[in-house]
Amino acid sequence: MERSTESRFFRTPAAPPFFDRRDAGRQLAARLEAFAATPGLLVLALPRGGVPVAYEVALALDAPLDVFVVRKLGVPGNEELAMGAIASGGIRELNDDVIAALQIDAATLDAVTVQETQTIFEHERRFRGNRPRPQLEGRSIILVDDGLATGASMRAALAALRGHQPKLLVAAVPVAPPETCAALKAVADGVIAAITPSAFFGVGRWYRDFTQTTDEEVRELLSRSAAGTGM
């Protein structure tokens, strides 16, 4: 598949274009219709916020849904600042600029990595329950989140998924800056965003309701998808 970025450019909207994540998923699904008949299609979500979006995508494309967990590697004492990210499978994506600027040593980085790796295992058990992980090799995978800023988590997830040798690997989000989409084309076979505003202002700016997704909602949506029931 030719690598591509689909987009519509928005200035700061008078009202955000997405009511909530489910609405964003339905709008994103309309841009993914070409994948509906793809053999072996699998929709993966970055939890938590990506799950309601991906649920609507999987429902529209009649594809199975699962989660792929990525954890931010926060700077100790300032955890909101990411020095990188790690995904299921142990692939680590580092923010070299932050690491160099704060002079973070290897021991600190490794300690945070071990902690977040354990968290990934715990979250997978919590979200998936007793269901086995899906087979990834040879599948056509659409990886979904509720939006991208720097794209570090998405990049880490794509790198980890690439190691499983999928047939096709596409990143899909409702909203992301154009430069982030362009950068992700180096690690994905396709990057599709419903909107790519040049004046970004953060992911939440494009939603009227950006309430945090709960663990219970993640489990419920995954269960409904596995059972083949709508909502």
The CATH T-level fold of domain 72-126 is Ybab; Chain: A; (3.30.1310)
Instruction: State yes or no: pLDDT of 4 exceeds 80.
Output: no
Q: How confident is the model at residue 13 (pLDDT cuts 50, 70, 90)?
A: low
pLDDT in tens, 49-105: 999 999 999 999 999 999 999 888 999 999 878 898 888 777 788 889 999 999 999
Strands 190-195 and 65-67: unpaired
In the chain, where are the structural domains located?
Answer: 5-69+136-227, 72-126
CATH 3.40.30.10 fits domain 5-69+136-227: no
| pLDDT, position 231 | 46
Number of residues in the chain: 231
| Alpha carbon 165 to its chain's center | 18
Rounded Cα gap, residues 79 and 86, in angstroms: 14
| pLDDT, position 229 | 52
Its pTM stands at: 0.82
Instruction: State yes or no: pLDDT of 2 exceeds 90.
Output: no
pLDDT in tens, 142-185: 999 999 998 888 988 998 899 889 999 999 999 999 999 999 99
Rounded Cα gap, residues 82 and 152, in angstroms: 9
